[in-house]
């Protein structure tokens, strides 16, 4: 091999990509064959993994060089297929796992590349064989743009190497490998935006940021997602069925139109349309695409394909067998005769534009703009979408409700063009809307960044813009005429003003004016004194703060003093707060965070449950008639099979018609359940009622349910799925999330473990319940859930919180409501629980707390009387609650009359995410670097736990790709609603990495999550609820815990010392306050992409306060919304010296950050800003 190909291994290179794939496919003790190895750049990397490396090359010199360096290598001509097969068979015979790499080789062979087919002959079916191929992308953006202008520059190496005999694109690479019986299983392409074609053969066409070169780059990126791929690096496994499929020559265009039905389609409506279409002479030209729930129900003459649940977008992108497809949201609207006319009469001589079916009378000569403006999306089946549009342009919003479909259809029309097909409809169709006005059409297109990108430099649209400008010019003539009229009126006013001025001069020179001058002077002085006094009283405190800042910024020693003061103030607040806080509180929180590193912190594939287990549902009722109808309706409507549910209703002596309602319901519907019964008893309390129902059942899992709640469709399915996946762990309960008011207690954002669970709706493991003793009958109501939670933990079990399993709980009539029974029961329950699980001091405090309530003002009329009535009961039960705890050594938190750390925002009203509405994508950007794997894994898991259903997680590394393997391994277990991408960068700093990530993000909204910060599961949902409710809002931000943390030296573990929300964070949006100091932590805010499009990203010159400087830009003329709920946490150093150094750096950057933002804003708005 020529020495010009003697490349070394680099951590960001084609070779690194290939090594990553080899490692995925191989393991220690395997063998790796490198065909066409050259100078074996990957040899040492492969051998470091415990794999035997053997290189083959036709060049004797390179082979000899490798052998002299201790690399096992042999001379071999790859054109001699028999010799290749013999060598591979001989060397690999004893290995069960074999990987083969062919890097930068097949482009030097013939197009058929029969070598790929022959090498499979060397292996048996018992051997695990994988193939890794790399080839240059001959359609790279630099090559494509130059070719467009007629340039095709061969060089000695690179994309257009003079020795290449075949040029490869992604499509023909797939064709060659499939034809030879290899199925692609992984991709690790090497991206390089600017190739040697750019650097060695400069051209005005390749201009990056300006001119037509910039526009062509945008167009290429739209048409080809792989436009910046320098080399395709792909992994394959043998699959001879692909070769047979290719040889059979099955045409991918064997049918003309696919009718695609959404997941929600009604079976009866589909059946009626199926029967109607089966009679068509050209029925073979129609493919049906249905949800997999219809498998086996439509076997007949028509071609039917099925997509998996949540797999519609993927199917449309990759699996359609047709030229066109139509989205049939309402099968009853489809006109069979019109569809038949399309199939029989359409002339495809002009390509594959989007087709719109219209009545014959509506077909007139119209421009593309006119057809776009009048495009009707009401009847979705009228539009025939080119089959390759969605996949090529990565546009899948058709599945996101009516709004998503409308945007998708319009973008498809712009990208593909529109052609109208005249048909006659034999049934009534939805009314088409009136054509949009010209300005409305412009606004619609220009407000959609993707749509606007489709029309740049378009002569059609340029003509329309010209016409609009002509109209504006005509309007301008009218304005000019009006302006002349105003000028004449202004001249008249000037004359009047001159007359008045003359009269004024006569007054001030009069004798009376002269005589009263001293009186007027005295009056002015009094008025000025009043103004000064008023200004002094009303001046903002922030002015004093600004003076203080100016002083200590200029005296280095005071920076440390100020930092020390703030830290000690925070610590003092923690120390001197209510002495009713237990000494075990922090230890209990640390126990939760420690589990991030062990059992519950693991990231596993969440397996779908195919055969759901039977469960017992326990409901306790007491005068609950008003809740019965909604409860049973939601139980019937949810997706867990009723035939797997044993329903037991325990009535605690209701005096209303609760029992009659349940008995009436079960008399009709009991047969749908595995079993169902109503149990009547006297009112023994909430826990005792459930205990009776649980002990009557036998199922492995028991679902405890309040009657005043309603299930969402997948609530029970998600909870049982989580429980089944947690088999073999210590988990004993799975708590449902409640809306509109989520319980505000702290839970671990990574493991979702909690110290206690609310039992309004919770799934319990029967074995754990019975072993720990079940509900304590001595607690009548309120507190029984905390007590059982603590008891389960005292027996060594853990408790899980399930934010994704949501129920609607009608717990409060209004926010902040105080319930008398809840007050009295909670006070008594807290005392009992302290006696059983608290330390000696916690037990003493229990009685102090109880006594203090007789001194404090009454919570409501009669509260102290209720407390007095409970005293005898409390004294009787003391011996009972001094025992009963399990043997495990765990810590139990107590915080006054509460237990766990509270997240602010208990009465923030949450809503269920609408499945019908379009769900905008949110990109979460995580910046990281070498050695941060422990933090990064936990941050990613907190994103995986998010309840918002459409998230892109973009991990951007500064200075290499050391975290790629971790990110890709976690991406494999990511939930379906979170897509994960990794972005490697050179060493460009925090700001540079953030900007690179925003430039690559595909979401409509952005947020940052630094790798050592964490999100509670509702963070994105909460902020997006706020943004969706008011489209004028540009960004929303919420409260966050500051967690002071000690991190060990190798960054593999840490101890959290203090959870605190700084008072400065409780700040409604006020730009003037933001100009003085930052009150928004970087992970707390979620903002529209348009802010980045207008202002750009971080200032690359800033190493500190780059986020604050960015908020100053984004907030200028922006509309931000404050959400008073704690939804995230961020870390700061617990070490006082480190805090002081960090504080000094931040204060040193203060003026620089302010000046940076000020300069950027002035550059955009074109005028100077007022000083702070």
Q: What is the pLDDT of residues 156-187, one digit of tens each?
A: 888 888 889 999 999 899 999 999 999 999 99
More confident residue, 1043 or 158: 1043
pLDDT at 492 over 80: no
- pLDDT reported for residue 788: 95
Tell me: do 381 and 264 sit in the same domain.
yes
- pLDDT reported for residue 872: 86
- pLDDT reported for residue 22: 94
Mean pLDDT on 775-787: 90
Cα 260 to chain centroid distance, Å, stands at 27
Cα 299 to chain centroid distance, Å, stands at 39
Confidence of residue 154 (pLDDT cuts 50, 70, 90): confident
Confidence of residue 50 (pLDDT cuts 50, 70, 90): very high
Identify the helix (H) or strand (E) that includes residue 90.
helix 81-92
CATH number at residue 114: 3.40.50.150
Q: Is residue 926 assigned to a domain?
A: no
Tell me the C-alpha distance between 1021 and 1066, whole Å: 20
Stated pTM of the model: 0.57
Closest C-alpha to 801, from 830, 770, 759: 759
Detail the DSSP E strand segments found in 220-273: 229-238, 255-260
Tell me: do 944 and 860 sit in the same domain.
no
- pLDDT reported for residue 495: 78
Question: Burial letters for 317-337: b for 16+ Cβ neighbours within 10 Å, e otherwise?
Answer: beebbbbbbbbbbebebbbee
Confidence of residue 601 (pLDDT cuts 50, 70, 90): very low
Q: Is residue 487 assigned to a domain?
A: no
3-state SS of 117-131 is HHHHHHCCCCCEEEE
User: 300-311, pLDDT tens digit by residue?
Assistant: 778 899 998 888
The DSSP bridge partners found for residue 763 are 703, 734
Spell out the residues 6+ positions from residue 244 whose beta carbon is closer than 8 angstroms to its own.
Answer: none
Q: Is residue 646 assigned to a domain?
A: yes
Which of 378-392, 678-692, 1141-1155 shows the lowest mean pLDDT across its residues? 1141-1155
pLDDT at 432 over 60: yes
CATH number at residue 843: 3.90.550.10
Tell me: do 870 and 985 sit in the same domain.
no
Tell me: do 784 and 750 sit in the same domain.
yes
Quote the DSSP letter at residue 139.
T
Tell me: do 242 and 296 sit in the same domain.
no
Q: Is residue 854 assigned to a domain?
A: yes
Tell me: do 316 and 366 sit in the same domain.
yes
Percent above pLDDT 90 for the chain: 43
pLDDT at 150 over 90: no
- pLDDT reported for residue 135: 95
Strand 922-928 relative to strand 731-739, pairing: unpaired
Burial (0-12, 13-18, 19+ Cβ within 10 Å), 26: buried
Q: Do 372 and 438 touch, CB atoms closer than 8 A?
A: no
pLDDT at 254 over 50: no
Which of 74-88, 332-346, 431-445 shows the lowest mean pLDDT across its residues? 431-445
Tell me: do 187 and 303 sit in the same domain.
no
Tell me: do 294 and 242 sit in the same domain.
no
- pLDDT reported for residue 310: 81
Tell me: do 350 and 379 sit in the same domain.
yes
Q: Do 325 and 384 touch, CB atoms closer than 8 A?
A: yes
- pLDDT reported for residue 542: 44
- pLDDT reported for residue 1152: 86
**CA contacts within 13 A on the Cβ side of 141:** 27
User: 309-329, pLDDT tens digit by residue?
Assistant: 888 988 998 888 888 999 999
pLDDT at 539 over 60: no
Confidence of residue 401 (pLDDT cuts 50, 70, 90): confident
- pLDDT reported for residue 1038: 96
Q: Is residue 811 assigned to a domain?
A: yes
Quote the DSSP letter at residue 599.
G
Q: Do 337 and 344 touch, CB atoms closer than 8 A?
A: no
- pLDDT reported for residue 666: 92
Spell out the residues 6+ positions from residue 847 whose beta carbon is closer than 8 angstroms to its own.
Answer: 831
Q: What is the full DSSP assignment across 1056-1103? A: EEEEE--GGG-----HHHHHHS----GGGEEEEHHHHHHH-S--TT-S
User: 95-112, pLDDT tens digit by residue?
Assistant: 999 999 999 999 999 888
pLDDT at 332 over 50: yes
Tell me: do 970 and 853 sit in the same domain.
no
Identify the helix (H) or strand (E) that includes residue 993.
helix 989-1000
Mean pLDDT on 486-499: 77
The DSSP bridge partners found for residue 325 are 258, 385
Q: Give me the domain span that covers residue 803.
A: 594-881
- pLDDT reported for residue 710: 94
Q: Is residue 952 assigned to a domain?
A: yes
Tell me: do 299 and 376 sit in the same domain.
yes
Q: Do 429 and 333 touch, CB atoms closer than 8 A?
A: yes
More confident residue, 484 or 945: 945
CATH number at residue 388: 3.90.550
Q: Is residue 266 assigned to a domain?
A: yes
User: 207-216, pLDDT tens digit by residue?
Assistant: 766 677 777 7
How many domains does the chain contain in total? 4
Single residue among 848, 881, 914 that ends a domain in this structure: 881
Confidence of residue 1079 (pLDDT cuts 50, 70, 90): very high
- Phi first, then psi, for residue 164 (nearest 5°) are -70, 135
Single residue among 202, 218, 246 that ends a domain in this structure: 246
- pLDDT reported for residue 573: 46
Spell out the residues 6+ positions from residue 1159 whose beta carbon is closer than 8 angstroms to its own.
Answer: none
Tell me: do 237 and 282 sit in the same domain.
no
Single residue among 860, 881, 902 that ends a domain in this structure: 881
**CA contacts within 13 A on the Cβ side of 1057:** 14
Q: Is residue 576 assigned to a domain?
A: no
pLDDT at 77 over 80: yes
Tell me the C-alpha distance between 956 and 950, whole Å: 19
- pLDDT reported for residue 513: 63
């Amino acid at each position: 091999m020529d020495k010009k190909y003697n490349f070394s291994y680099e951590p960001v290179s084609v070779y690194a990509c290939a090594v990553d794939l080899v490692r995925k496919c191989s393991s220690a003790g395997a063998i790796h064959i490198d065909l066409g190895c050259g100078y074996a750049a990957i040899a040492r990397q492969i051998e470091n993994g415990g794999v035997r490396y053997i290189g083959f090359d036709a060049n004797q010199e390179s082979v000899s060089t490798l052998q002299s360096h201790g690399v096992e290598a042999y001379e071999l001509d790859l054109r001699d297929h028999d010799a290749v097969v013999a060598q591979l068979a001989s060397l690999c015979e004893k290995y069960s796992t074999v990987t083969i790499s062919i890097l930068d080789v097949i482009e030097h062979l013939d197009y058929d590349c029969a070598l790929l087919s022959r090498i499979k002959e060397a292996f048996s079916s018992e051997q695990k064989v994988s193939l890794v191929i790399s080839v240059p992308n001959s359609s790279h953006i630099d090559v494509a743009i130059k070719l467009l202008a007629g340039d095709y520059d061969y060089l000695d190496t690179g994309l257009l190497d003079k020795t290449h005999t075949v040029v490869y694109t992604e499509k023909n690479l797939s064709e060659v490998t499939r034809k030879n019986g290899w199925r692609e299983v992984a991709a690790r392409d090497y991206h390089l935006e600017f190739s040697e074609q750019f650097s060695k053969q400069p051209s005005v066409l390749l201009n990056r940021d300006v001119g037509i070169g910039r526009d062509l780059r945008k167009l290429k990126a739209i048409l080809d997602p792989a436009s910046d791929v320098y080399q395709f690096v792909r992994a394959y496994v043998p699959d001879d069925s692909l070769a047979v499929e290719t040889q059979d020559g099955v045409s991918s265009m064997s049918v003309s139109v696919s009718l695609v039905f959404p997941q929600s389609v009604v079976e009866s409506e589909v059946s009626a349309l199926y029967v109607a279409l089966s009679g068509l002479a050209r029925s073979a030209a129609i493919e049906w695409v249905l949800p997999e729930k219809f498998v086996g129900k439509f076997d007949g003459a028509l071609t039917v394909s099925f997509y998996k649940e949540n797999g519609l977008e993927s199917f449309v992108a990759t699996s359609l067998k047709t030229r066109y497809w139509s989205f049939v949201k309402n099968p009853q609207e489809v006109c069979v005769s019109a569809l038949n006319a399309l199939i029989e009469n359409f002339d495809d001589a002009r390509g594959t534009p989007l087709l719109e079916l219209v009545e014959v009378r509506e077909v007139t000569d119209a421009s593309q703009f006119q057809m776009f403006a009048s495009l009707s999306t009401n009847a979705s089946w009228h539009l025939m979408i080119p089959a390759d549009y969605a996949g090529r342009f990565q546009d899948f919003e058709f599945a996101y409700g009516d709004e998503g479909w409308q945007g998708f259809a319009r973008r498809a029309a712009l990208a593909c063009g529109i052609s109208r097909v005249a048909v006659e409809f034999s049934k009534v169709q939805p009314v088409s809307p009136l054509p949009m006005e010209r300005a409305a059409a412009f606004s619609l297109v220009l407000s959609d960044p993707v749509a606007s990108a489709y029309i740049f430099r378009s002569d059609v649209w340029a003509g329309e813009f010209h016409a609009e400008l002509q109209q504006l010019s005509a309007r301008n003539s009218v304005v000019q005429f009006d302006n002349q009229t105003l000028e004449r009126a202004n001249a008249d006013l000037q004359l009047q003003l001159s007359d008045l001025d003359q009269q004024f001069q006569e007054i001030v020179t009069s004798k009376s004016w002269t005589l009263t001058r001293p009186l007027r002077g005295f009056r002015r002085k009094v008025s000025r004194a009043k103004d000064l006094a008023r200004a002094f009283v009303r001046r903002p405190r922030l002015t004093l703060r600004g003076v203080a800042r100016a002083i200590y910024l200029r005296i280095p020693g005071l920076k440390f003093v100020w930092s020390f003061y703030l830290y000690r103030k925070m610590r003092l607040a923690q120390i001197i707060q209510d002495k009713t806080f237990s000494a075990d509180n922090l230890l209990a929180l640390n126990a939760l965070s420690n589990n991030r590193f062990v059992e519950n912190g693991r990231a596993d594939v969440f397996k779908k449950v195919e055969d759901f287990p039977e469960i017992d549902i326990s409901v306790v009722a007491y005068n609950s008639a008003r809740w019965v109808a909604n409860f049973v309706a939601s139980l019937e409507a949810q997706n867990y099979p009723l035939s797997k549910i044993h329903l037991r209703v325990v009535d605690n002596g209701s005096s209303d018609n609760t029992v009659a309602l349940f008995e009436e319901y079960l008399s009709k519907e009991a047969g749908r359940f595995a079993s169902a019964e109503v149990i009547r008893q006297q009112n023994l309390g909430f826990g005792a009622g459930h205990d009776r129902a649980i002990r009557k059942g036998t199922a492995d899992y028991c679902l405890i349910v309040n009657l005043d709640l309603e299930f969402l469709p997948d609530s029970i399915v998600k909870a049982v799925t989580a429980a089944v996946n947690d088999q073999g762990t210590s988990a004993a309960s799975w708590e449902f999330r409640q809306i509109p008011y989520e319980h505000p207690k702290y839970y671990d954002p990574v493991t979702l473990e909690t110290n206690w669970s609310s039992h309004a709706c919770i799934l319990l493991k029967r074995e754990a319940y019975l072993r720990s003793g079940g509900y304590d009958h001595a607690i009548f109501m309120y507190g029984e859930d905390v007590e059982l939670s603590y008891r389960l933990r005292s027996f060594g079990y853990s408790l899980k919180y399930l934010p994704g399993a949501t129920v609607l709980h009608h717990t409060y009539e209004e926010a902040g409501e105080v319930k008398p029974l809840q007050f009295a029961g909670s006070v008594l329950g807290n005392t009992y629980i302290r006696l059983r699980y608290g330390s000696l001091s916690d037990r003493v405090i229990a009685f102090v707390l109880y006594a203090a309530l007789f001194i404090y003002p009454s919570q409501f009329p009669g509260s102290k009387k209720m407390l007095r009535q409970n005293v005898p009961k409390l004294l009787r039960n003391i011996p009972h609650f001094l025992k009963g705890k399990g043997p495990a050594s765990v810590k139990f938190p107590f915080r006054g009359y509460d237990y766990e750390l509270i997240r602010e925002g208990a009465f923030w009203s949450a809503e269920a995410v609408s499945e019908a509405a379009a769900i905008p994508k949110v990109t979460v950007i995580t910046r990281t670097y070498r050695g941060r794997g422990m933090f990064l894994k936990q941050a990613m898991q907190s994103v995986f736990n998010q309840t918002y259903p459409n998230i892109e997680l973009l991990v951007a590394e500064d200075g290499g790709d050391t975290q790629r393997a971790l990110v890709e391994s976690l991406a494999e277990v990511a939930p379906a609603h979170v897509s994960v991408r990794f972005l490697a960068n050179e060493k460009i700093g925090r700001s540079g990495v953030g900007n690179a990530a925003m430039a690559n993000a595909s979401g409509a909204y952005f947020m940052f999550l630094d790798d050592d910060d964490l999100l509670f599961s509702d963070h994105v949902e909460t902020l997006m609820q706020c943004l969706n409710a008011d489209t004028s809002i540009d960004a929303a931000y919420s409260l966050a815990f500051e967690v002071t943390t000690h991190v060990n030296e190798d960054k593999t573990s840490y101890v959290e010392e203090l959870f605190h929300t700084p008072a400065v964070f409780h700040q409604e949006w006020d730009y003037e306050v933001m100009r003085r100091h930052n009150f928004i932590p970087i992970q707390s805010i979620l903002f529209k992409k348009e802010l980045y499009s207008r202002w750009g990203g971080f200032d690359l010159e800033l190493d500190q306060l780059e986020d604050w400087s960015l908020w100053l830009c984004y907030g200028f003329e922006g509309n931000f919304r404050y959400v008073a709920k704690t939804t995230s946490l961020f870390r700061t150093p617990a070490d006082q010296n480190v805090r002081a150094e960090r504080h000094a750096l931040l204060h040193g950057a203060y003026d620089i950050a302010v000046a940076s933002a000020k300069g950027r804003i002035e550059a955009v708005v074109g005028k100077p800003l007022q000083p702070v």
